[in-house]
Structure 1
Amino acid sequence: MAPHTTAEDQVIEMMLHLGPCDSEDVVCQCTNLTWNRVFLAVDRLSRSGELGLVPRDRGMYTVTFPHRQDGRPDRRSLSS
């Protein structure tokens, strides 16, 4: 990934490749980011509606793309 890519962009790109996955998988796939950076990026993306968080077990979440009516992910522009 390009050095100027934001943590949010990296999470979105990873999710486009993997699809819905556990929050821990997001952390493991974003190897150049700390757990804190991934958490903050996912938090921002979920608050902005770019990603969805589905609770599973105690403290565990599945990270997903919220779906529009046509079934494709809602890909609004990310602000840096």
Structure 2
Amino acid sequence: MASHTLVTHRILGEVKRAHGCDLDTLAKSLPDLSWSQVFLEVDRLSRRGEVLVTFGAEGRYMIRLPDHKKRAATHSVRP
């Protein structure tokens, strides 16, 4: 079993490389990990705001990286 940090980096790297993808495609691109391992890590990353998960076309869960530029522009920081 791969370490937690290694799984995180591999998932984030694959999502970045693909410019977003659906959950099943992501799991297939990491054949040494089970679908459950990928799902659980995507869930954790989503809760931390490191990936965005949306329900897309054809009933697939789409995963992409957040657009930090838009997020920074729409959130003001108060002292």
Which TM-score band applies after superposition, normalised by the shorter structure? 0.7 to 0.9
User: Structure 1, residues 18-73: CA drift from partner, whole Å, max 9, x if none?
Assistant: 111111111010111001100011011111000000112575211011112268xx
Compare CA radii of gyration and give the structure with the larger one: 2
Which consecutive segments of 4 or more residues in structure 1 shift more than 6 A?
none
Report the structure, 1 or 2, having the larger helix content: 2
1:35 aligns with 2:35: yes
For structure 1, the 5+ residue unaligned runs are 72-80
TM-score normalised to the size of structure 1? 0.73
Q: CA RMSD in A?
A: 2.1
- 2-structure distance, mates of 1:42, 1:59: 17
Displacement of 1:16 in angstroms is 1.7
Aligned match of 1:75: none
- 1-structure distance, mates of 2:16, 2:57: 24
- 2-structure distance, mates of 1:59, 1:67: 23
TM-score normalised to the size of structure 2? 0.74
| Aligned sequence identity (%) | 28
Aligned match of 2:74: none
For structure 2, the 5+ residue unaligned runs are 72-79
